[in-house]
Amino acid sequence: MSLVTLTINNKKIQVEQGTTILNAAKKLNINIPTLCHLKIHDNKTENHPGSCRVCVVEVEGKKKLSSCLLYSCNE
């Protein structure tokens, strides 16, 4: 798989293409708050990653804010 270089909060990182922004940020110890990505195992709560929109991030070159779980790092 090919690597993609990106910058998050002025920190550069190389990740595999298709990595979510959330996972790339975690590798840099940057916390992006999320609700829908919590691991809840109470047999009552249904989590749908990317549905809460708490984790919106600005992606350079995009006109709108993006969900950090839905947006994958591409070339």
pLDDT of residue 59: 81
Question: C-alpha angle with apex 14: 13 to 16, nearest 5 degrees?
Answer: 140
Mean pLDDT of the chain: 78
Q: What are phi and psi of 44, to 5 degrees?
A: -120, -30
Residue bearing the bigger pLDDT, 67 or 29: 29
Domain ranges within the chain, ordered by starting residue: 3-67
Say whether pLDDT at 75 is over 50. no
Beta bridge partners of 5: 14
What digits encode the pLDDT tens for the residues 29-64? 998 887 766 666 777 766 666 666 677 788 888 888
User: Cβ(55)–Cβ(68) under 8 Å?
Assistant: yes
Host H or E run for residue 25: helix 21-27
Say whether pLDDT at 28 is over 90. yes
**Helix, strand, or coil here: 21?**
helix
Of the candidate CATH numbers 3.40.50.880, 3.40.50.1010, 3.10.20.740, 3.40.47.10, the domain formed by 3-67 belongs to 3.10.20.740
